[in-house]
């Protein structure tokens, strides 16, 4: 095992897939000579040149369209958005073209493309740069949505996304790029899309968390165990669409309680979908109402203290677990 940051694990996945498949290339703003806005593409342009790592103008709709066309022609583009907030400008290409082309062409055109970059909040970047857009993209058939929370997951899931024949929305978290974890030293290490991971086993309560809230949930689980002797299971879906609801339901049947921690707003969120599916598949196994921890229903403040108050936290997750466990 190698100890890598999430940033370097993503870089390693990109490098290995460029070497493995001559059809893979990266395109986006500042991905080449500048080594990427968050240094995920560091060193790749120097190693592979202009045709494999392509700098673009500041025109998300334009280079997303080039990527979709390239994918239809048989290439495997990896399109980097400097932030998924900017992907809103390219949403026509992502939703009306990439997501629908296989269906509208009667199966004639596959679109093997990955749209990747940071999603959700950063550090004091305010309202227009702090949106968690996974529920938005997961709403459209034809798109797969992936959100890694560890270095190993980042590498294994990105490699699987690049090899997938469908358009994949690959959402990283800017706050997590520097987090370290063990990653298998294997050029062919992949993690299948659509398979959740049990990050911590427990028997008294289930927390379903993703991306930034996974380390929060793990910290909360440890504190609850030590203080109240309550055993908490933490599940990371990893892939939002397709969603591995079976792993979540199996956990509920064991723990009988559920807390959902997510960075997005609560209305029409992924957490709302998980809540419905758990009610549909495991209602009789619930011993308490499901609790959700989300970002407050307001544009993200700029002030550091207000930003912290708006976002999920370890303390908020602990309070929710205590509530469903009647502590």
DSSP reduced 3-state for 116: strand
The pLDDT value given to residue 19:
98
Q: Per the residue annotation, which of 16, 17, 97, 129 is the catalytic one?
A: 129
Euclidean distance between CA atoms 314 and 326, whole angstroms: 18
pLDDT the model gives residue 132: 97
263 is catalytic: no
Asked if CATH classification 3.40.1390.10 holds for the domain at 2-183, the reply, yes or no, is no
Instruction: Give the per-residue pLDDT at 292.
Output: 98
The 10s digit of each residue's pLDDT in 102-156 is 999 999 999 999 999 999 999 999 999 999 999 999 999 999 999 999 999 999 9
Domains 2-183 and 197-324 share a fold: yes
- The mean predicted confidence, pLDDT, of the chain is 97
Q: Computed from CA positions of residues 298, 304, 309, 315, in that sequence, does the dihedral angle turn out positive or negative?
A: positive
Please tell me the predicted confidence (pLDDT) of residue 139: 98
Q: In the Cβ-directed half-sphere of 276, how many Cα atoms lie within 13 Å?
A: 7
pTM score: 0.97
Q: pLDDT tens, 220-271?
A: 999 999 999 999 999 999 999 999 999 999 999 999 999 999 999 999 999 9
Q: For the chain, what are the domain ranges?
A: 2-183, 197-324
Whole-number pLDDT of residue 62:
97
When pLDDT is averaged across residues 162-176 and rounded to a whole number, the result is: 98
Instruction: Round to whole Å and give the CA distance between 196 and 208.
Output: 10
pLDDT, tens digit (0-9, with 9 covering 90-100), for 35-86: 999 999 999 999 999 999 999 999 999 999 999 999 999 999 999 999 999 9
> For 15, which DSSP code?
H
Does the domain made of 197-324 have the CATH classification 3.20.20.70? no
Is 97 annotated as catalytic?
no
Whether 258 contacts 208, CB under 8 Å: yes
User: What is the spatial distance between Cα 234 and Cα 131, in angstroms, rounded to a whole number?
Assistant: 24
Cis preceding-peptide flag for 242 (omega within 30 of 0): yes
CB of 261 closer than 8 Å to CB of 228: no
Q: Are 94 and 87 in contact (CB under 8 A)?
A: yes
Catalytic residue selected from 29, 60, 262, 307: 60
- CB-CB contact of 294 with 265 (8 Å): yes
């Amino acid at each position: 095992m190698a100890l890598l940051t999430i940033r370097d694990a993503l870089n390693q996945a990109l490098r290995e897939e460029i070497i493995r498949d001559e059809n893979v290339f990266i395109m986006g703003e500042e991905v080449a000579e500048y080594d990427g806005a968050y240094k995920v593409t560091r060193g790749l342009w120097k190693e592979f040149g202009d045709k494999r790592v392509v700098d673009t103008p500041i025109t998300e709709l334009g280079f997303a369209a080039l990527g979709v066309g390239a994918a239809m022609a048989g290439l495997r583009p990896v399109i980097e958005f400097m932030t998924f907030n900017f992907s809103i400008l390219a949403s026509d290409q992502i939703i009306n073209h990439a997501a629908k082309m296989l269906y509208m062409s009667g199966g004639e055109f596959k679109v093997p493309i990955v749209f990747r970059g940071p999603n959700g909040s950063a550090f004091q970047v305010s309202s227009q740069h702090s949106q968690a857009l996974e529920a938005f993209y997961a709403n459209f058939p034809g798109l797969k949505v992936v959100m890694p929370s560890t270095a190993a997951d980042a590498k294994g899931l990105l490699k699987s996304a690049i090899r997938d024949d469908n358009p994949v929305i690959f959402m990283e978290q800017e706050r997590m790029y520097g987090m370290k974890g063990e990653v298998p030293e294997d050029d062919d290490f992949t993690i299948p899309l659509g398979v959740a991971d049990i990050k911590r086993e427990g028997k008294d309560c289930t927390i379903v968390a993703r991306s930034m809230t996974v380390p929060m949930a793990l910290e909360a689980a440890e504190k609850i165990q030590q203080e109240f002797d309550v055993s908490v299971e933490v599940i990371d879906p990893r892939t939002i669409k397709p969603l591995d609801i079976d792993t979540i339901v199996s956990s509920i049947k064991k723990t009988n309680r559920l807390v959902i921690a997510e960075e997005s707003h609560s209305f029409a969120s992924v957490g709302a979908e998980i809540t419905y599916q758990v009610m549909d598949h495991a209602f009789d196994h619930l011993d308490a109402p499901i609790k959700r921890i989300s970002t407050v229903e307001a544009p993200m403040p700029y002030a550091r203290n207000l930003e912290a108050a708006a976002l999920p936290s370890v303390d908020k997750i602990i309070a929710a677990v205590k509530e469903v466990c009647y502590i």
